Every structure is written in C-alpha cells, then in structure tokens.
Amino acid sequence: MPQPIDVGSILGGRYKVTGRILASAEDDVILDGLDQVLNRPVSILVAAPENSANLTQSSREIATGERPSSVSILDLGSEAGVTYLIAARTTPADLLDLVVPTDAQDVYQEPFFTDTLGTEIFGSARDQAPSSGAYVYEDNSPLTPGHPSSALPASKHTPTAAVPATPPVSSGAFDDTDSKVTLWNDDDYDDAVPDTARRSGTFSSAARGALASYEDSNNAEDRFEDEDDSNAPRTGGRWLTGIIVGVLVVGALIFAASHIGTLFNASPVADGGNTSSSASQAATEAQPATATPSSAPVVAPVIKGLTDITAYAPGAQHYNDIFMPRLKDAIDGNKGTYWPTVEFTDDAFAHVTTSIDLAVELAQESTVSSVTINQIAGSGGQFNILTNSKPSLEGAVKIGSGSFTAPDFTLKVAAGVKAQYVIINFTQLPKLQPFATYPYGLKIAEISIQ
C-alpha cells in the first residue's frame, strides 16, 4: 500500500524528504533526505506496517552490537503510524536488510562450559557434558572438573566423593615405587644441599661475580656521566657575551639617532670641496640679496565661490541641478551643512557623465599649500585635485589625488604652487552608508584651502 510519507515531508521536525529511490514488494520505501540542522544528505527507510517491528528490533541489535551492519543509524521514529529509520547515506540493499528479522538459530552458542577446551587442544575430543563429580589425586590434590587425566594409570585416578575446605596431612615421603612425586621435609634439604652451596637468601659465586660486575659497570657509567657534566660547555659565558653585545648595539643606535638629524641638516659639500670656502661664497652671495627680494610674496588663499562645472553626456539629464542652491553650503565654514548629489545606482555616475567637477574660485591668484575635503557617510571613490587660471579642466595641472577612507581628507601640496582656481575632479563615486534609494553619491560638508 502507498506510504503517507513522500517528497517534501519533514520527519522529526528535522529531516526533509528530497527524493524517492525505490519501493520493495512488501511496500518498504527507500527515500533520499536532507538533515536540515547539519545540512548533510541522509538515507531514509520507511518500513511497511507489518515490518515496523522488524526494523525496530534490527536497529536495537545494531546499536547494542548484536547484529553486524554497515548502516550508520542516525535516528529512529514514527510518523503517521509507520516506522522510519534515518541513516547516513548508504545503499538501498543494506537498508532493506534491516526489515528482515535475525534468525536466532544462526547465532552460535557454547553448549556448556568453555573450560574443557584444553582437552580438545591436546588431542582429545571435548567432553559432551560436564562431569557430575570432582576428580582428585590420591594425595587429595583437587583436579579441575571435567578434566580426567589420561596420562596416569586409572588405578591412580579413581573418582571419589568431594572432600572438605581442609585435606588430611600427608604422612611423610612416598616410596619411589608408589609415586614419582616425593614431599621433602627440612632434614631432607639439609642432607641434600652442602654447606658451601647457596642457601635461601644467598647467591652462588657465579651470580655474585656477575652482580659485582654489573655494579662496577653502573659505577663506571655514573663516573662517566659526572665527567661529561664536568666537560660540558659552560653557557653562562655565552649569556654574558650576548648581554654585552646587546648593550653595545643599543648604545650605537642611540648615538646614531641623536646625530642623524645633524647629518641631514648639514649643508652639502659639492665635489668634496672645502666647507669653509662654500660657506664664504654663500655669505658673499647673500650680501646683495638684502637690497632685492629673494622671492615673490606669499598670498594666502581666500575662497570666493564654488561652481559645478560637470560636463554631462549629450541628452543626459542634469540631475544635480536640483541641488544647485545648496552648493554654497560646501564653502560656508560650517560642517553641519552639506551639498549633496543625487544617489546613483553605481559608482560610474549611471553613465550620464564621466566625472563630477567642482571649481573653487579664489579671490586672487594665491599660494596653495593644502586642500581639505570634509564629507559625510562616504567611503572609497576616486578624485583628482587640479589647479588652473580658469574654471575648466582644460589646461589644468594635477597636484594630487585621493580616496575617502575617513570623513576628512587633506592633501599637502608641494611648495610654490599658485592658482586662481582649485578644481576637484571626482572620477568615481564613494559608497554611501546609510542611503535612501541608491548606494552611491557625494555629500560634501566643507572644502577649505590653505
């Protein structure tokens, strides 16, 4: 009969059925699945109702080790009256084996005690059943049950009733004709062992000699170790040498740091000539300079106005015209106000222009030493800074470039740069965060020139 679990079902709130593999003749179904917690593929076996008990039993036997299987079981549950098994990805044949019950007769069991295996190892067949009584020697020594000895005559091994936890004491030595085992008393030891032989707690002369040689070798090894320790190189001198060298290096660095400024500030000596002659020549040349100014006076820049000189593509809409009245906010000296552009979909101005250009007009031609741009919420982008005698990119001279990595950007200009106009040429828009509609644009809070 068809199973209620099909593709798209969720088992145990975790395993999603993603495909159907096959169905057996008994309506056991193999499915593909996905563990949505660990994001790994699994195999799913849905047992037919009549095989649910077999599947549960097989799973328990595999978990306890009673049944060998290559299936790695992950979960076992019940859904809509049927039992399902979740396993690591495996073959359908291995899964279908789990709905087949284990035949208990196939499991080998020992017929009785295993302590009679020795008789089989040493050539005799294993006893069919354990012996009902114990076998003892005539000297009352117990023999392991189920192990009647076949090496001695039967007259010496007759079954008797069980004896007490305290056997009777033997009455002296046996005669050699009766038994090969003879018990000795203390007098027998005295008669058999000469006085010169080893007694209890003593060693023979050969053993004592070997022990003495062993002790001598150990003493020699200890002596050699002591000699090695005395001959080992001393590391204390190396440490002392290293400390001295380190102090000298630190002293040399301090000396170099204190004198390197003097080396760079000293006047250069041309062609290895005499320093005194060069100094006198410089003093001679400096005398008429008092009458004539050495350079033109420095004029501090004063911002007069700001103009948007962006050149748009033919037919393109001038989006920034709507913010033209706010252009003055970029030079009013207040960082709380700003001039924005419209927001663009990309950093290339949505292809309506190739750049956005702002021309800062100075009151007169001035000496420019630095240009600072304060912006809001932008990161990245690219821009060039140029100077010109007119508000145009034509004929302008580039004095630097940059990108926004912080709210403020300052360009230090080389000495001697003079200009009537400072032009900021934005060639790539920074990314805004946050933004209203599109993520690219400009928010210029202040432009200042020193």
pLDDT, tens digit (0-9, with 9 covering 90-100), for 69-99? 889 999 999 887 889 999 999 999 999 988 8
| 55 residue type, one letter | L
Q: Where does the pLDDT of residue 413 fall: very low under 50, low under 70, confident under 90, or very high at 90 and above?
A: very high
Residue 185: what pLDDT?
63
Closest CA to 2 of 37, 54, 49, 34: 49
Tally of residues, the chain: 450
**What is the Cα–Cα distance from 232 to 440, expressed in whole angstroms?**
73
- On whether residue 313 sits in a domain, the answer given is yes
Per-residue tokens: 419: 């200009």
Buried b or exposed e, range 142-169, using 16+ CB within 10 angstroms: eeebbeeeeeeeeeebeeeeeeeeeeee
Residue 81: what pLDDT?
82
- On whether residue 231 sits in a domain, the answer given is no
- On whether residue 68 sits in a domain, the answer given is yes
pLDDT above 70 covers what percent of the chain? 60
pLDDT above 90 covers what percent of the chain? 39
Res. 182: pLDDT tops 70: no
- How far is Cα of residue 178 from the mean position of the Cα atoms in its chain? 80
- On whether residue 2 sits in a domain, the answer given is no
Per-residue pLDDT, averaged over 1-5, amounts to 58
- On whether residue 436 sits in a domain, the answer given is yes
Phi (first) and psi of residue 65, to 5 degrees: 85, 5
Task: Give the CATH number for residue 402.
Answer: 2.60.120.260
Res. 171: pLDDT tops 70: no
- On whether residue 199 sits in a domain, the answer given is no
- For the ranges 48-62, 100-114, 295-309, the lowest mean pLDDT is seen at 100-114
Range of the domain at 351: 303-449
339 burial type by CB count under 10 A (0-12 exposed, 13-18 middle, 19+ buried): buried
219 or 45: whose pLDDT is higher?
Answer: 45
SS (H, E, C) the chain: CCCCCCCCCEECCCEEEEEEEEECCCCCEEEEEEECCCCEEEEEEECCHHHHHHHHHHHHHHHHCCCCCCCCEEEEEEECCEEEEEEECCCHHHHHHHHCCCCHHHCCCCCCCCCCHHHHHCCCCCCCCCCCCCEECCCCCEECCCCCCCCCCHHHCCCCCCCCCCCCCCCCCCCCCCCCCCCCCHHHHHHHCCCCCCCCCCCCHHHHHHHHHHHHHHHHHHHHHHHHHHHCCCCHHHHHHHHHHHHHHHHHHHHHHHHHHHHHHCCCCHHHCCHHHHHHHHHHHHCHHHCCCCCCCCCCCCEEEEEECCCECCCCCCHHHHHHHHHHHHCCCCCCCCEECCCECCCCHHHCECCEEEEEEEEEEEECCEEEEEECCEEEEEEEEEEECCCCCCCCEEEEEEEECCCEEEEECCCCCEEEEEEEEEEECCEECCCCCCCECCEEEEEEEC
CB 40 within 8 A of CB 34: yes
Number of structural domains (the chain) is 2
Residue 358: what pLDDT?
96
If you compute the radius of gyration of the chain from its CA atoms, what whole number of angstroms results? 53
- For the ranges 84-93, 141-150, 352-361, the lowest mean pLDDT is seen at 141-150
**Domain endpoint, select from 54, 71, 103:** 103
* 147-170 confidence digits (pLDDT tens): 444 444 444 444 443 433 744 444
Task: Give the CATH number for residue 46.
Answer: 3.30.200.20
First-to-last C-alpha distance (Å) of the chain = 89
- On whether residue 393 sits in a domain, the answer given is yes
Res. 216: pLDDT tops 70: no
Per-residue tokens: 67: 């049944």
CB 367 within 8 A of CB 299: yes
- On whether residue 62 sits in a domain, the answer given is yes
pTM of the model: 0.38
**Domain endpoint, select from 43, 72, 103:** 103
Buried b or exposed e, range 2-33, using 16+ CB within 10 angstroms: ebebeeebebeebbbbeeeeeebeebbbbbbb
**Domain endpoint, select from 74, 103, 132:** 103
Res. 394: pLDDT tops 90: yes
